[in-house]
Amino acid sequence: MSADDGSAQPGPDGRLRCPWGLSADDYVAYHDAEWGRAVHGDDALYERLTLEAFQSGLSWLTILRRREGFRAAFAGFRIREVAAFTEADEARLLADTGIIRNRAKIQAAVANAKVAAGLAEGDLDALIWSYAPDPAHRPAPRSHADIPAVTAESTALAKDLKKRGFRFVGPTTAYALMQACGLVNDHLADCWVRERVHEPPE
């Protein structure tokens, strides 16, 4: 198969990877060590939910390169701290060149923290993971064309989150969250990481 057919491609070390994982230097470590590995914990999932919302309409690389800036701006994505943000904090964020300065997304991130803070500890984790599909019913994708942008589970997750008051969580964003946080394993069948997502990264 050619490099244009969406199949796994060899990297500089000879290992086969999902093509997007080789499209930029920053992506290699993220693809190998993070993407598709299980993420648990309310704060950790709130961080991913927030970053996926900010990514909407942009390249994930844009977000990845600003992740430390986002963490600094949003108090390490500690839900209860962000939930206490005021209009002055939102104004500060709008002036912060270390993040994406989008008013609607900033306001959504703060509003989502307030909703998450109203849940019992562990409930956000349990809610999101309750929509993880049975992996036995998901054949390993052979190429990028086999990977959906939206699924029934991501549509249901987005609907549930919106019902609870979360913003910027459409089905596509919800599916990107599911992929990134290991609810689904969308590493290609020939990708070296696919069978190692449950192991500590190298």
Active site residues: 30, 52, 60
- Cβ atoms within 10 Å, residue 64: 17
Residue type, 172: T
Rounded Cα distance, 195 and 182, in Å: 12
CA 66, 53, 154, 83 torsion: positive or negative?
Answer: positive
Structure token pair of residue 141: 């994708």
State how far the alpha carbon of 134 is from the alpha carbons of 92, 128, 131, 138, 184, in Å.
43, 14, 9, 7, 9
